[in-house]
């Protein structure tokens, strides 16, 4: 007998969701709540084991087992990109519930009640993600949630078509379906354009068009360091080139490891940073002799031409113009005659260069006055 089409569909949609989510993590287009994923990794693993014990041989058990493996893989990827923080009361409750379920199953051999306890813990484990997405829907705006929702529907159809459908078999499937659908609804279906839940933006799939040039004014190419943004048309001095649109986050939420493409954070206040947007502004490189600079206004943060820029010229700005952190340094290979070799904070620039940027309003607001630079050190 051939494979059940709904079984294949459930497996395919589930794994497609995890693959898309992992891709979003790699490109930092999603910013998940790591506590939820830790709980889900434990809960899905326990659920898969207890479900198999309660419903031996059920085909949907394979869906749960493979999903648990993928969930653990995503969790490991998330935790490798973050630093430790104490769990909240909600997170502690969910973890304790999973441990209790494990004891019920392994010690008291109560697979059914262990399974139902995990089912009850799942909605609670979604609370950190719901709160995070409610505060900023872009944190979870991924096609994965829609894929998981449809995968749950396929799994539900498998269960409904089975010979017997008990509470233990139906409970987890319905809870997963409702939880996945709720996040999908929160990030996409409550907007004017429901397709945004699949990453659609301005008629194109964002996941495939992350670095599409704006109105053919720019092109993405390669320089001696990697990806770079080049002008496809000439720009006059003072022209606004791009807007930096990343999400702002406090300093303590910065990833513990930032290397290569993941190091795309711009300091905007003494205690806050702007993260990567997943758009063209992420690829603008540093230069010690830049042709552009960041200007902070009430309307946003804009990259502005500091001189005339010819078509074909690489766009660049000086990373030091937003930095106050004294412990950050970067080896520079911009190849400009004025190359400083090592890039540091704004204070590392000579006084004349600092005033040059200030006079053109091309520094972060908290660095606009001379006494703002190194103020804490002087006060000490």
User: Mind listing the pLDDT tens digit for each residue in 156-212?
Assistant: 887 777 655 555 567 767 888 888 888 888 776 543 344 444 444 444 433 333 334
User: Mind listing the pLDDT tens digit for each residue in 274-301?
Assistant: 887 777 888 899 999 999 999 988 778 8
Position 108 scores a pLDDT of 64
Are 61 and 7 contacting, i.e. CB atoms less than 8 angstroms apart?
A: no
Q: How many residues does the chain have?
A: 380
What is the share, in percent, of the chain residues with pLDDT greater than 90? Answer: 13
How far is CA 233 from each of CA 290, 316, 345, rounded to the nearest angstrom?
Answer: 17, 15, 32
User: Mind listing the pLDDT tens digit for each residue in 314-325?
Assistant: 999 999 998 887
User: Mind listing the pLDDT tens digit for each residue in 89-137?
Assistant: 766 776 776 667 666 666 666 666 666 776 777 777 787 788 777 766 6
Q: Is the pLDDT of residue 60 over 80?
A: no
What is the share, in percent, of the chain residues with pLDDT greater than 70? Answer: 68
- Least Cα distance to 65 among 6, 2, 15, 123 occurs for 15
H/E stretch holding 228 reads strand 227-231
Q: What are phi and psi of 117, to 5 degrees?
A: -65, -40
Q: Is the pLDDT of residue 5 over 50?
A: yes
Are 179 and 123 contacting, i.e. CB atoms less than 8 angstroms apart?
A: yes
Q: What is the DSSP letter of 296?
A: E
Structure-token match 């001379």, residue found = 370
H/E stretch holding 221 reads strand 218-222
Q: Which domains does the chain have, with CATH numbers?
A: 5-200 (no CATH), 214-379 (2.170.270.10)
For residues 103 and 14, the model is more confident at: 14
**Distance (Å, whole) CA 99 – CA 373:** 50
How do beta strands 248-250 and 272-274 pair? antiparallel
- Least Cα distance to 322 among 294, 303, 342, 287 occurs for 294
The DSSP bridge partners found for residue 305 are 292
How do beta strands 316-317 and 285-286 pair? parallel
Position 245 scores a pLDDT of 80
- Least Cα distance to 239 among 309, 175, 335 occurs for 309
Average pLDDT of the chain to the nearest whole number: 75
Q: Is the pLDDT of residue 379 over 60?
A: no
For residues 50 and 263, the model is more confident at: 50
Question: 262-273 burial, b for 16+ CB within 10 Å, e for fewer?
Answer: eebbbbbbeeeb
Q: What is the DSSP letter of 235?
A: B
Rg (CA), the chain: 25
**Distance (Å, whole) CA 235 – CA 238:** 8
User: Mind listing the pLDDT tens digit for each residue in 335-378?
Assistant: 899 899 998 888 889 889 999 999 999 998 888 765 544 443 33
By three-state DSSP, how is residue 255 classified? coil
């Amino acid at each position: 007998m051939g494979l059940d089409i709904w079984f294949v569909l459930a497996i395919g949609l589930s794994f497609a969701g995890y693959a898309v989510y992992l891709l979003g993590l790699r490109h930092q287009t999603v910013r998940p709540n790591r506590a939820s994923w830790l709980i889900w990794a434990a809960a899905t693993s326990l659920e898969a084991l207890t479900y198999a014990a309660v419903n031996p041989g059920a085909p949907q058990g394979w869906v749960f087992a493979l999903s648990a493996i993928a969930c653990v893989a995503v969790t490991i990827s998330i935790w490798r990109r973050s630093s430790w923080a104490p769990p909240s009361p909600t997170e502690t409750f969910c973890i304790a519930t999973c441990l209790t379920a494990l004891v019920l199953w392994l010690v008291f051999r109560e697979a059914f009640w262990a399974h139902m306890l995990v089912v009850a813990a799942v909605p609670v484990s979604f609370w950190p993600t719901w709160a995070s997405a409610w505060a900023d829907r872009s944190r979870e705006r991924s096609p994965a949630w829609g894929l998981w929702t449809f995968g749950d529907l396929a799994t539900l159809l498998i269960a409904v078509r089975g010979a017997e459908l008990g509470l233990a078999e139906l409970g987890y499937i319905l809870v997963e379906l409702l939880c996945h659908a709720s996040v999908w609804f929160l990030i996409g279906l409550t907007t004017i354009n429901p397709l945004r839940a699949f990453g659609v933006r301005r008629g194109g799939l964002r996941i495939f068009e992350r670095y599409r040039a704006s109105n053919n004014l720019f092109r993405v190419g390669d320089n001696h360091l990697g990806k770079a943004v080049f002008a496809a048309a000439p720009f006059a001095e003072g022209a606004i080139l791009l807007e930096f649109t990343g999400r702002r986050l406090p300093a303590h939420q910065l990833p513990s490891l930032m290397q290569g493409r993941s190091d795309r954070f711009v300091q905007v206040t003494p205690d806050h940073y702007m993260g990567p947007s997943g758009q063209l502004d992420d690829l603008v490189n540093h230069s010690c002799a830049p042709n552009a600079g960041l200007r902070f206004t009430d309307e946003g943060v804009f990259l502005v031409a500091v001189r005339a820029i010819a078509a074909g010229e690489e766009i660049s700005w000086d990373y030091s113009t937003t930095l106050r952190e004294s412990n950050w340094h970067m080896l520079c290979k911009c190849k400009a005659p004025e190359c400083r070799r090592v890039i540091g904070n704004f204070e590392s620039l000579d006084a004349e260069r600092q005033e040059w940027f200030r006079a053109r309003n091309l520094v972060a607001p908290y660095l606009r006055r001379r006494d703002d630079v190194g103020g804490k050190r002087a006060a000490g």
